[in-house]
Amino acid sequence: MSREKSKVYSYLLESIKKKGCIHFVLIDPEKTSPSEASKIALTAENAGSTAIMVGGSLGVSEKMTDEVVLAIKRSGVGIPVILFPGGISGISKYADAIWFLSVLNTSSIYHIIGAQMQGAIIVKKYGLEAISLAYLILGKGGAAGYVSYSRPIPFDHPELAAAYALAAKYMGFKFVYLEGGSGGDPVPPAVIRLVKKISEMPVIVGGGIKTRQLAYNAARAGADGIVTGTVIEESQNLESILKEILEGIQSGVKDRTKNQ
């Protein structure tokens, strides 16, 4: 993709409008080699995923990020590559855009604005499109919650997540991300539903979505985007797991519309 201002952002919004809920594959450069990454990205594009996210919480250097993004780009993948950085070493000049994220429910100022201040200048230098993302960590929080000094929002308090999302909207964030923690328990539908209802923001959900049913549940509850990482990394049959997740999303959207 060319580096027009807001190009990826507009593409995401249009895709959400068209599909009701979009799918992102998350590739962690610490767990996935460049050649595996390009295979995953090509398969995801063919299956109907909207974009590829690249990032991880631990052990990811800029070189590793560059190598994975470059391999994806060189294999001819046409959908955008969006960085999902766990820190300032997760920024690659070869990506199309970056989730410019702030962990709103952390107890550490560094994870709200410190890393962002250091990274902003690199993002500008590389000419990356920055898409602001309010990152909320829920449930057990996983590695992302631990490394970012978060106070994860309990799953049985959806009103807290909704209040954060509304604040994020008033602060001008473009997207909100509900993170259950990689490989953990997925964010419950009741949380997604309330966040969407109260904030009316584009809501992305990730963490622990491993089956058609879980993708269905999140899409039906109103998620605008669903991220899957672990299940793709661990899969022996990429085509079939991607097909399952995409089918779950589509039928969740269908049933959501039916019941409105």
24: phi then psi, degrees, rounded to nearest 5 = -120, 135
- Which of 32, 199 has the CB closer to ligand 1GP? 32
12 - beta bridge partners? Answer: none
CA–CA distances in Å: residue 233 to residues 41, 50, 102, 122, 215: 11, 18, 26, 29, 17
- Which of 58, 121 has the CB closer to ligand 1GP? 58
**Interface region with ligand 1GP, contact rule CB under 6 A, candidates 29-37, 168-176, 229-237, 252-260:** 229-237
The answer to whether 139 and 187 are in contact (CB under 8 A) is: yes
Does residue 183 interact with ligand 1GP by CB under 6 A? yes
How many residues bind ligand 1GP, per CB under 6 A?
A: 14
**Rounded least distance, CB 15 to ligand 1GP, Å:** 19
Q: What is the dihedral of CA 95, 99, 102, 104, to 10 degrees?
A: -150
Exposed / middle / buried, residue 7 (Cβ in 10 Å: 0-12, 13-18, 19+)? middle
**Rounded least distance, CB 174 to ligand 1GP, Å:** 18
Does residue 104 interact with ligand 1GP by CB under 6 A? no
Structure tokens at 188: 């419950």
Does residue 230 interact with ligand 1GP by CB under 6 A? yes
Does residue 162 interact with ligand 1GP by CB under 6 A? no
Residues that bind ligand 1GP (CB under 6 A): 26, 144, 179, 182-183, 206-209, 227-231
